[in-house]
Amino acid sequence: MSDDKICFIGGGNMAVSIIGGLVADGRAAETISVADPSADALAGLNTRWPGLATTTDNAAAIAGAAVVVLAVKPQILREVCEALAPVLADRRALVLSIAAGVRAGDIDRWLGGEQAIVRCMPNTPALVRSGASGLFATGQVTADQRNAAERVMRAVGLTLWVDEEARLDAVTAVSGSGPAYFFYVMEAMQAAGVKLGLTPEQARLLVLETAFGAAKLALESSDDAATLRARVTSRGGTTERAIQVLEAGDLKRLFEEALTAAAQRAAELGDELGKD
């Protein structure tokens, strides 16, 4: 087994993003292999990274890999894992799953047991290397393997470890589903801007740049969101009037209910996907 080799089972958008991040960080494409049933997808990968090893054979792809990234749809993960179980039976490879909702215990069971598994909940901004990923490691994962998992996911953004797997349901609610909440707010602001007389393109550009600028300001400041909000909310001004409307609608309660519902659904999906 090579300490350098990483294998991706599945060559979809998230896998492509992680590979791109790893190569941009200096990893040689020759140390990465990808297995995918689509010949077209593999051809695209070879065109982009000529040194990449590609195959339609999952078992062949993981030969000698120190890290195996499971990047397939949750609905087919069991089938994939059970086919890989004989190959991984006598190995100490790290298995890093980015399949949403499927719990580490179920993955371990499908792989035959006693596997070193890190479960990861990334989000779609990883596609532009600005992701936020929550990670959970089982007891079989060594310190070196934790570092390896973190290096892989840091290639596409921030990483955060949780000590209890159930906390990944909260990660799913906050960051996994989170981009959609911001898109929804942006959508609403754009529509309101148009009603106020802006053209759709004017409203779009103003909202997008404001969202980007607010996030950048928050990231680069040591102050919390409440303090930053207060700084731009002058007494008797336009922002205060807008905030009063949002507070009258109990926006914070709505977000709490929304994220709670998302976390509950994440737990339900874990139950459903792990059924025998």
* CA-based nearest residue to 93, from 25, 148, 135: 148
Q: Does some domain include residue 92?
A: yes
Same domain flag for 215 and 119:
no
pLDDT tens across 107-134, in order? 999 999 999 999 999 999 999 999 999 9
Same domain flag for 11 and 111:
yes
The amino acid that residue 43 corresponds to is A
How many structural domains is the chain composed of? 2
Question: Taking 80 as the threshold, does the pLDDT of residue 2 lie above it?
Answer: no
User: CB under 8 Å to 169, separation ≥6 — which residues?
Assistant: 263, 264, 266, 267, 270
**Per-residue pLDDT band at 269 (split at 50, 70, 90):** very high
Same domain flag for 107 and 186:
no
Give the residue with greater pLDDT, 90 vs 85. 85
Question: Of 171, 189, 221, which residue constitutes the final position of a domain?
Answer: 171
Same domain flag for 102 and 192:
no
Same domain flag for 99 and 230:
no
Length of the chain: 276
pLDDT tens across 75-85, in order? 999 999 999 99
Question: Taking 80 as the threshold, does the pLDDT of residue 276 lie above it?
Answer: no
Question: Taking 90 as the threshold, does the pLDDT of residue 4 lie above it?
Answer: no
Which CATH number covers residue 109? 3.40.50.720
Measured between alpha carbons, how far is 173 from 262 in angstroms, rounded to an integer?
5
Same domain flag for 117 and 184:
no
What percentage of the chain carries pLDDT values higher than 70? 99
pLDDT tens across 214-259, in order? 999 999 999 999 999 999 999 999 999 999 999 999 999 999 999 9
The pTM of the full predicted model, rounded to 2 decimals, is: 0.91
Structural contact between residues 175 and 132, judged by C-beta atoms closer than 8 angstroms: yes
Same domain flag for 165 and 192:
no
What percentage of the chain carries pLDDT values higher than 90? 94
The amino acid that residue 113 corresponds to is G
Q: Does some domain include residue 274?
A: no
pLDDT value of position 1: 46
Provide the token pair at 212: 């980007």
Same domain flag for 105 and 47:
yes
Question: Of 140, 171, 202, which residue constitutes the final position of a domain?
Answer: 171
pLDDT tens across 13-51, in order? 999 999 999 999 999 999 999 999 999 999 999 999 999
Question: Taking 70 as the threshold, does the pLDDT of residue 173 lie above it?
Answer: yes
pLDDT value of position 275: 78
pLDDT value of position 60: 92
Same domain flag for 95 and 126:
yes
pLDDT value of position 30: 95
Measured between alpha carbons, how far is 147 from 149 in angstroms, rounded to an integer?
5
Mean pLDDT score, 251-269:
96
What mean pLDDT, rounded, does the chain reach? 95
Question: Taking 90 as the threshold, does the pLDDT of residue 90 lie above it?
Answer: no
- Give the residue numbers spanning the domain of 152: 2-171
Question: Of 136, 156, 171, which residue constitutes the final position of a domain?
Answer: 171
